[in-house]
Amino acid sequence: MQSSIWRPHINIWIQGARPRTLPAAVAPVIVATVLAGKEWKPLQALLALIVSLALQIAVNYSNDYSDGIRGTDDDRVGPVRLVASGLASAQSVKRAAQISFLIACIAGLVLASLSAWWVILVGIASVLAAWGYTGGHAPYGYRGFGELSVFTFFGVVATVGTFYVQTLEITLAAFAASIPMGALSCALLAINNIRDLPGDQTVGKKTLAVKLGDQKARKFFVGLLITAYIFPIFTGHTLALLTLATAPAAYAIAREVLAGAKGEDLIPLLGRTGQLQLHFGLTFALALSF
């Protein structure tokens, strides 16, 4: 009886964490760990995964909180918004974000102790970027810089950082591997912003999609998908071309986006983009393992 009472409450918080975005946190860690080869370290890899997942969840909760108190989530399609929908208080959502940040920081401190203490500076920058996306007095997500931040922190930093804490090296191959990871993470945000474009225009939230306009934003999304398939070969692994096996799924998503899917029709495409990133990452990792 008691478990049935708690189940709906737990489900609400799971939805608020936006599970469809979590492949953006998992894929870079998997790719970087396999790229590390014989130098991979299980503990460091696990800690990097915890940091990445905790930061992604923290971003989702902090966005829910910040957008909710600003009122920019009041009339929007897509995943449940805890604050805007009244399912949870603003303070409880903020606390969930803070707990997620704390978990990321603790795991990050252990990682730094096992690798290099300057990793702490990268962690601080990551936390500030995560909070500053929609939080604070001048959120950069409201000025069209969200994609740049996602590419940097959920692409380059997540991939190269995971590689570094295991190998204590930064290589061109690791950087090349980070490009498709960043591009696909950006694609998740880009399709999300295309879906929210009408509402964001109304509330004055100037995302990159708003600045580009609907058609250019859709082409930008497709460009991100294409970018993901260009850079794997620059890792120096010929088998990285195996990532092309996921291209039909990318093509199907791109075709629907270019055809003008809007509003609720973009919700399943967001989920499929997340799945694409995970499948791409697993295929990429498999290719790098040989």
pLDDT digits (tens, 9 = 90+) for 94-109: 999 999 999 999 999 9
**pLDDT 10s digits, 43-89:** 999 999 999 999 999 999 999 998 888 877 656 666 678 888 888 89
Torsion sign over Cα 207, 212, 213, 215: negative
Q: What is the pLDDT of residue 47?
A: 98
Confidence of residue 38 (pLDDT cuts 50, 70, 90): very high
Closest CA to 100 of 63, 71, 69: 63
Give the whole-angstrom CA distance, residue 193 versus residue 211: 11
pLDDT at 2 over 50: no
What is the pLDDT, as a whole number, of residue 8?
52
DSSP 26-77: HHHHHHHHHHTGGG--HHHHHHHHHHHHHHHHHHHHHHHHHHHHHTTTTT--
**What tokens appear for 119 in the block?**
């990793």
Other residues' Cβ atoms within 10 Å of the Cβ of residue 268? 13
- How many whole angstroms from its chain centre is CA 153? 9
pLDDT of residue 126: 95
**Of 86, 74, 70, 72, nearest in space to 12 by CA:** 86
Higher-pLDDT residue of 188, 73: 188
CA distances from 37 to 44, 64, 176, 258 (A): 14, 38, 16, 39
Query: Which backbone phi and psi does 91 adopt, to 5 degrees?
Result: -65, -35
Q: How many residues does the chain have?
A: 290
pLDDT digits (tens, 9 = 90+) for 204-262: 889 999 999 999 999 999 999 999 999 999 999 999 999 999 999 999 999 999 999 99
Q: Per residue in 144-184, pLDDT tens?
A: 999 999 999 999 999 999 999 999 999 999 999 999 999 99
Model confidence at 113: pLDDT above 90: yes
The reported pLDDT for the residue numbered 6 is 42
Could you tell me which of 129, 109, 128 has the C-alpha nearest to residue 120? 109
Closest-CA residue to 119 (of 166, 65, 87) = 166
Compute the distance between CA of residue 138 and CA of residue 71 in angstroms, rounded to an integer. Answer: 15
CB 225 within 8 A of CB 272: no
pLDDT at 4: 45
Q: What does DSSP assign to residue 152?
A: I
The token duo for 199 is 């509402």
